Amino acid sequence: MARLKWLWIGLFWVVGTVLLLEIVLRVSSGSLPGQVGVAARYVTTGQPYAENWTPAWRENRDHYYSLRPNIQNVLQYGTPSVNFRLSTYKLWDDGLPPDEGIGFRTPPIDYTVDAVVVGDSFGFCFTELEDCWVNLLARDTGLGIANLSQPVTGTISHGRILQDFGAPLTPPLVIWQFFGNDFNDDYGLLAWRGDIEPITDALDTPITPPSANPWVDTLRRHSALYAVGEVLITGRWQVITPDQIPFIPNYTVTYGNGEVLHFGKLYERQALDMSRPANQFGFERSQEAFQAAQALIETWDGRLIVVIIPTREEVYDFLTEPLMGKEALDKQRSARLSMLTLCDALQLACIDPLTAFQERARAGESLYYSDDMHLNPVGNRYLAQIVQAAIEQDTP
């Protein structure tokens, strides 16, 4: 009887401890950091973010997406564990209601504009404003820079932004940020608008949900303690909904001083693969957009510099290629290499920081977020230094 008594006492304490931990994790889910917080919030609220949020970018017929104006210090997310504060402004009075039109991270212009930046989310920066390479470049060079970048946009959009918002400023320097999915975004914009018929592609990879043990999946979704424990063991949030499948990394490696890199998302493998007809179509539209931009910038005797952002798979190829395979990695390389062919064909001044980034990567430095394609504050800082050196070298 004594043994049974102690067994029940022990069982009581185990169950009590489990319940207490479950309650504590649920109550504190909003303040827990990183993937631990993501898992706990999902179990508690059904969504992985620290607060209910609306993306600052919305659909725009001319640009695919554009930023909503007059946002004040609102939390935004790249992934559930990557967030930053965002404020947006109109560059000038456009006669539209405050919540209509296009917003920019750049406040209204009250300074001499020495340069404008056009680009996508890599120019916009998924960081706090002071950590963005554009702001670091302005600080370190003393240049008055207007950042006109818009997330989820391609080259066609960047050309239109330059024409509508950059050209009136007649900047001596235009910095055009490029990422490999811009070709795909150019195709996507025209297909979404209905300007072209969607391009059927035999290379499309069917999207099927990964199989999971139903008991395990139930615990992931309904027990904060189990979800957090799994994150601490595996290093990542495991719950996957069908719409998230293209954006779930397929591989994970650890490097440097315990840094973790999740990579190999289906979206990037498809959007940067230049063997795909849709991306080739976008390439041709991008070439036209660059040619039009060159002609436009020449009208005020400005100069154009293109900054090409490499993928984290390329930068950390010594880690990624053994898992992805050379063929798969070459497909992701193909978009950047195609842009370099445009640089030669159109005689564009292009900056490719791949080699400099690879040197940092091999030294164990983390330049990208662990579970997001974008540059982290460290990567932004190095990019600013590379662009500054190129500008100063090219300055008469």
> How far apart are the C-alpha atoms of 269 and 253, rounded to whole Å?
18
Residue 200 pLDDT level (bands cut at 50, 70, 90): confident
Contact 124, 150 (CB under 8 A): yes
Q: Quote the pTM value.
A: 0.87
Q: What is the extent of the structural domain holding 222?
A: 15-51+204-266
Q: Tell me, yes or no, whether 168 and 112 share the same domain.
A: yes
Q: Tell me, yes or no, whether 166 and 255 share the same domain.
A: no
The answer to whether residue 374 sits within a structural domain is yes
Contact 19, 34 (CB under 8 A): no
Q: Tell me, yes or no, whether 281 and 221 share the same domain.
A: no
The strand ranges marked E within the chain are: 57-60, 64-67, 74-79, 82-86, 115-118, 145-147, 173-179, 251-255, 259-263, 303-309, 349-351
The answer to whether residue 390 sits within a structural domain is yes
Task: Please give the distance of CA 334 from its chain centroid, rounded to a whole number.
Answer: 19
What are the residue ranges of helices labelled H in 79-223? 121-124, 133-141, 155-161, 182-193, 214-222
Q: Tell me, yes or no, whether 280 and 233 share the same domain.
A: no
Domain boundary among 249, 266, 283: 266
Q: Is the dihedral of CA 325, 327, 328, 331 positive or negative?
A: positive
Q: Tell me, yes or no, whether 371 and 249 share the same domain.
A: no
Maximum alpha-carbon separation in the chain: 95
Burial class (CB in 10 A: 0-12, 13-18, 19+), 13: exposed
Task: State residue 71's pLDDT score.
Answer: 95
Does the structure show a pLDDT above 70 at 161?
A: yes
- Please provide residue 206's backbone torsions phi and psi, each rounded to the nearest 5 degrees: -55, 140
Q: Tell me, yes or no, whether 305 and 242 share the same domain.
A: no
Q: Which residue has the tokens 């890199």?
A: 261
Q: Tell me, yes or no, whether 389 and 247 share the same domain.
A: no
Higher pLDDT among residues 349 and 109, named by residue? 349
Task: State residue 33's pLDDT score.
Answer: 72
Does the structure show a pLDDT above 70 at 98?
A: yes
The per-residue b/e assignment along 153-181, b for 16 or more CB within 10 angstroms, e otherwise, is bbbbbbbbbbeebbbebebbbbbbbbbbb
Paired strand residues for 86: 74
Task: Dump pLDDT digits (tens) for 51-82.
Answer: 677 899 999 999 999 999 999 999 999 888 89
> How far apart are the C-alpha atoms of 333 and 314, rounded to whole Å?
7
Structural domains of the chain, count: 2
The answer to whether residue 287 sits within a structural domain is yes
The answer to whether residue 350 sits within a structural domain is yes
Q: Tell me, yes or no, whether 251 and 144 share the same domain.
A: no
Q: Tell me, yes or no, whether 149 and 110 share the same domain.
A: yes
Contact 342, 287 (CB under 8 A): yes
The answer to whether residue 8 sits within a structural domain is no
Task: Please give the distance of CA 29 from its chain centroid, rounded to a whole number.
Answer: 25
The answer to whether residue 7 sits within a structural domain is no
Task: State residue 210's pLDDT score.
Answer: 52
The answer to whether residue 34 sits within a structural domain is yes
Give me the mean pLDDT over the 184-208 stretch. Answer: 81
Q: Tell me, yes or no, whether 81 and 67 share the same domain.
A: yes
389: enclosing H helix or E strand:
helix 377-394
Q: Tell me, yes or no, whether 256 and 374 share the same domain.
A: no
Q: Tell me, yes or no, whether 100 and 157 share the same domain.
A: yes
Task: Dump pLDDT digits (tens) for 317-376.
Answer: 999 999 999 999 999 999 999 999 999 999 999 999 999 999 999 999 999 999 899 999
Give me the mean pLDDT over the 259-280 stretch. Answer: 92
